[in-house]
Amino acid sequence: MTRSKRPSEIAVGDDLPQYDLPMTATVIVSGAIASRDFMPAHHDKDFATGQGAPDIFMNILTTNGYVSRFVTDWAGPEAMLRSISIRLGAPAVPGEPLQFTGKVAKTTEQGDQWLIEVAVRAANSLGDHATGTVVLTLPAD
């Protein structure tokens, strides 16, 4: 991913390429430790089930990281994120692939850059894990 989208190539209603994240314990633990989140619910199955969770589950920092990656994989390296706002729902657990989908909700020219608003959703068979909005900027064409 070295080429960035030009704002002229982006229209409201465009779908982002869907991304399916295979969910394993390793994915969850790697993200938790890389984000320095040592909460046992993100690496210790006995602890997680003892708290009523079905298994260890992804921490929110990692969810935000994947949402960010999903959007910049599409927009390219010149994309600069302004915000990631998500509502949290079903847990992201091993064995439940997480499907990322997104749609361009709004585009606004702002001086020498464009503000692009993307509606994002990460869901598994349990329901919506995260839904919300990412706002990014791209340099004008």
Which residues contact other proteins (rule: CB under 8 A)?
A: 1-2, 30-31, 33-41, 44, 47, 52, 60-69, 72-73, 77-78, 80-88, 139
Cα dihedral sign for 23, 60, 124, 96? positive
Pairing of strands 98-110, 80-88: unpaired
A 10 A CB-CB count for 58 gives: 26
In angstroms, give the least distance from the CB of 127 to other proteins. Answer: 13
Residue of 102, 99, 101 lying closest to 123 (CA atoms) = 99
Q: Which is nearer to other proteins, 13 or 31 (CB)?
A: 31
> Other CB atoms closer than 10 Å to residue 59's CB: what's the count?
22
Beta strands 127-139 and 113-124: pairing type? antiparallel
Q: Which is nearer to other proteins, 21 or 104 (CB)?
A: 21
